[in-house]
Amino acid sequence: MPYRHGPVLRPRWWGELLGGLALFGVYLLIEAKPLPSREMRALEGGDAILAFERFLHLDFELPMNTWLAGQGWLRTAANYEYAITYIASALVLLVWVYARHPGHYRQVRNSFAWVNLLALACFWLFPVAPPRMLAGAGFVDTVRLGHTWGSWGSPMVENANQLAAMPSLHVGWALWVSVVLARISGGRVVQAVSAVHVLVTLAVILATGNHYWLDAAGAVVVVWAAVMIADVARRDSDRIPASDAFFLHVETPAAPQHVGGLIMLDTSKAGTVPTAELARAKIAAKLAGRPEFRKKLAPPTRWRPWRWVEHTDLDWNWHVPAFDLSRDGRPGGMSALHALVADLAGQQLPRDRPLWRFCVVTGVEEDTAAVVSLVHHSVADGIGTINLMLDLFDSPDLTSALGEVRRPGRLKQLAAGVAGIAQLATDARPEGQLVTSGTASRAFSSLQLDLDDVREIARRRDARVTDVLLAGTAAAVRRLATGPLPSKLLASVPLMAAEPRAGMAGNVTAAVMVEVPLGDMPETERLAAVAKASARLRTGTRAIASRFVQHTVANLMPPWFHSWFARTVYGGRFFNGTVSNMPGATWQVVAFGDFPLRTAFPIIPVAPGTPFVVGVLGWHGSFSMTVATDPAFVADADAFLGEFRKTLDEYRR
């Protein structure tokens, strides 16, 4: 079927260039990490294909190759056709569609990316040597015979992968160009010229000894699959973006991936307490405008990604439960609330229903109630979760609090993205994994400080609030953690990586790794070292690159590959723990019309294979901090925050 018209909006050209570089980076990664015995398996694969063709009596490559080898100028022309035209035609087509048919461009670009990703997977898993490399088969390497400059096999590209005969990307790219032209322009002359190019390319790859005709057949299958995948992805409007599905792939029973907030409510003036019935009525009134509350997951297949589907039959008793912490008429206290949060945060949200809970908690302290809001990370990140909560309370979202984000120019963004990809590839890895229990058991605690006081500490030490948070976390880890510790703690620090917008559902953050020293030193020196190391948080290059990989490149991956990719790059093998500093509301928020918020604490998931997460919300003048730790690493979360406070006292001296 023809490509459907979409919004006539061109993507940023620098992002497309960055995508091309990322695709080339995948090729380089495959080249750098071949499977064992690649050359031997490639030669065996080539022999097997040739033997099969001989069995069918369709092994006509050798006569064509022998004939072309003696043709002089025609042989040279064929070599150059082999080296140039398939690349030129594909690039010219992409530029033409981008400039003249922007409504088709994204789907065309995606299908081209799929052609290459599928082919690269074949090259990696099933290497095949071309006929010219088979000893004793009688083929002539026409490129080397004619000393063709710049062609595959010539000295200029000697290091190119020559064990990638199946499928033939030369035929694949030429055929893809023909398919796209047929779907967009439909002109007979254009289609005729494109068809001739495909046939000439087919003849050239066989006569030069670079491919078997079965390689061309494989290219037909790859192009068909790539175009179909791009079509299905475009038609699937409820597809979960890769940056959100990432957290579905990495979630394990020991590491549930939901974010949320612990919201402390002042009940002194209302003369009553909030109820689950009140919360249910408020959420029900918001359902029409909030699809996040009424959609559940449709499981993926190996090729079809996660999707959202409607689920209107909500189990209100589960989604909005009530908890009373009082015992014998007396409040249960913050310790009971912390235990409840730890228990709720350690439970996976069932995937047969919308992925959220809004728990109303009474009996906390005198004139104090709470709400525990939990949303799966695939629905929203920390900022998005806060905005969902604020919407329930009829309060403005955080767009204004985040302030204006000044985006660099396109060239600067492209340069930053390229630099960021290089930086991500060369960033340090943890010296070792910290102690974990391998369970979802958590110790949880909270701490509320004066935000201006923490800012003043940071200012006096020529640091930032995030630096203070990182250094104080390292101090607490050093003093309380069980097991051997590395010399440096590698912390994952989430940063805003997209422009703030109303609503902010989905994930708009990216993580940057910061090395924090754990050695024996004065805490003021540790803070100074962190302030120096965290400069990478302010360059923006890693955040741009990380966002691009997570949001753009990952959207081109099939679900099985994206799942492997997500589990490979996220967790204890890449960092030791998460430290997050997020902005919150700077104004007074009132819940349900009667209950002023005293503050809101963040609830952040522990990444797989890591034993702790520390989070802060700057909320209406408060530095509202939480910590969740694996008890095998730090058993007492209250003690962890106590050590953090002691470290602040050392910074004040």
Instruction: Give the pLDDT score at 504.
Output: 45
The full DSSP string for 328-378 is: TTB--HHHHHHHHHHHHHTSPPPTTS-SEEEEEEEEEETTEEEEEEEEETT
Q: CA 423, CA 535: separation in Å to the nearest integer?
A: 13
Look at 109 and 14; give whichever has higher pLDDT: 109
Q: CA 593, CA 320: separation in Å to the nearest integer?
A: 18
Helix (H, G, I), strand (E, B) or coil at 512: strand
Instruction: Give the pLDDT score at 423.
Output: 45
Q: Are strands 356-365 and 322-324 parallel, antiparallel or unpaired?
A: parallel
Helix (H, G, I), strand (E, B) or coil at 307: strand
Instruction: Give the pLDDT score at 526.
Output: 93
Q: CA 645, CA 347: separation in Å to the nearest integer?
A: 30
Of 124-128, 186-190, 198-202, 494-498, least confident by mean pLDDT is 494-498
Instruction: Give the pLDDT score at 437.
Output: 92
Backbone angles phi, psi at 212, to 5 degrees: -95, 160
Q: Is the dihedral of CA 139, 144, 148, 150 positive or negative?
A: positive
Name the most confidently modeled range: 24-33, 179-188, 493-502, 607-616. Answer: 607-616
Q: CA 39, CA 36: separation in Å to the nearest integer?
A: 9
% of the chain with per-residue pLDDT over 90 = 35
Q: CA 508, CA 281: separation in Å to the nearest integer?
A: 30
Instruction: Give the pLDDT score at 408.
Output: 52
Bridge partners, 376 (sequence order): 258
Q: Is the pLDDT of residue 400 over 80?
A: no
Q: Please enumerate in sequence order all residues whose Cβ is within 8 A of that of 26, keeping only pairs 6 or more positions apart, or say none.
A: 117, 120
Other CB atoms within 10 A of residue 76 CB? 17
Contact between 152 and 165 under an 8 Å Cβ cutoff? The reply is: no
Average pLDDT over residues 192-210: 88
In the chain, the amino acid numbered 513 is M
Burial, 407: exposed, middle or buried (Cβ in 10 Å; 0-12, 13-18, 19+)? exposed
pLDDT digits (tens, 9 = 90+) for 359-383: 999 999 999 999 999 999 988 877 7
Residues in the chain: 653
Contact between 50 and 134 under an 8 Å Cβ cutoff? The reply is: yes
Q: Is the pLDDT of residue 2 over 50?
A: no
Q: CA 498, CA 556: separation in Å to the nearest integer?
A: 20
Q: Is the pLDDT of residue 500 over 50?
A: no
- Quote the strand ranges of 129-275, DSSP E: 258-266
Q: CA 490, CA 611: separation in Å to the nearest integer?
A: 12
Average pLDDT over residues 20-46: 78
**What are the Cα distances from residue 433, in Å, to 252, 430, 483, 575?**
18, 7, 10, 8
Burial, 201: exposed, middle or buried (Cβ in 10 Å; 0-12, 13-18, 19+)? buried
Q: Is the pLDDT of residue 251 over 90?
A: yes
Of 132-141, 157-166, 306-315, 380-389, least confident by mean pLDDT is 157-166
Q: Is the pLDDT of residue 647 over 90?
A: yes
At 74, list the tokens. 């025609």
Q: Is the pLDDT of residue 502 over 50?
A: no
Contact between 440 and 254 under an 8 Å Cβ cutoff? The reply is: yes
Instruction: Give the pLDDT score at 503.
Output: 45
pLDDT classification of 471: cutoffs 50, 70, 90: very high
Name the most confidently modeled range: 239-243, 501-505, 584-588. Answer: 584-588
Q: For the packed helices 451-460 and 637-652, what is the interaxial angle rounded to 10 degrees? A: 50
Q: Give the mean pLDDT of the chain.
A: 83
Backbone angles phi, psi at 42, to 5 degrees: -65, -45
Q: CA 523, CA 475: separation in Å to the nearest integer?
A: 7
% of the chain with per-residue pLDDT over 70 = 84
pLDDT classification of 579: cutoffs 50, 70, 90: very high
pLDDT digits (tens, 9 = 90+) for 123-138: 888 888 888 888 888 8
Instruction: Give the pLDDT score at 68.
Output: 86
Query: In the block, which residue shows the tokens 């990952």?
Result: 554
Residue 330, CB-side half-sphere exposure with 13 Å CA sphere: 3
Q: Is the pLDDT of residue 122 over 90?
A: no
Enumerate the H helices of 549-628 as residue ranges: 559-569
pLDDT digits (tens, 9 = 90+) for 547-578: 666 666 777 677 888 888 888 888 888 899 99
pLDDT classification of 102: cutoffs 50, 70, 90: confident
Q: Are strands 577-583 and 488-496 parallel, antiparallel or unpaired?
A: parallel
Contact between 615 and 469 under an 8 Å Cβ cutoff? The reply is: no
Instruction: Give the pLDDT score at 42.
Output: 86
Average pLDDT over residues 207-230: 87
Helix (H, G, I), strand (E, B) or coil at 256: coil
Burial, 602: exposed, middle or buried (Cβ in 10 Å; 0-12, 13-18, 19+)? buried
pTM: 0.67
At 345, list the tokens. 């945060």
Contact between 265 and 371 under an 8 Å Cβ cutoff? The reply is: yes
Backbone angles phi, psi at 321, to 5 degrees: -85, 165
Name the most confidently modeled range: 84-93, 295-304, 396-405. Answer: 84-93
Other CB atoms within 10 A of residue 171 CB? 27
Burial, 33: exposed, middle or buried (Cβ in 10 Å; 0-12, 13-18, 19+)? exposed
Instruction: Give the pLDDT score at 292.
Output: 79
Instruction: Give the pLDDT score at 420.
Output: 46
Q: CA 222, CA 114: separation in Å to the nearest integer?
A: 8
Of 35-44, 403-412, 472-481, least confident by mean pLDDT is 403-412
Instruction: Give the pLDDT score at 507.
Output: 56
Average pLDDT over residues 135-164: 67
Contact between 342 and 613 under an 8 Å Cβ cutoff? The reply is: no
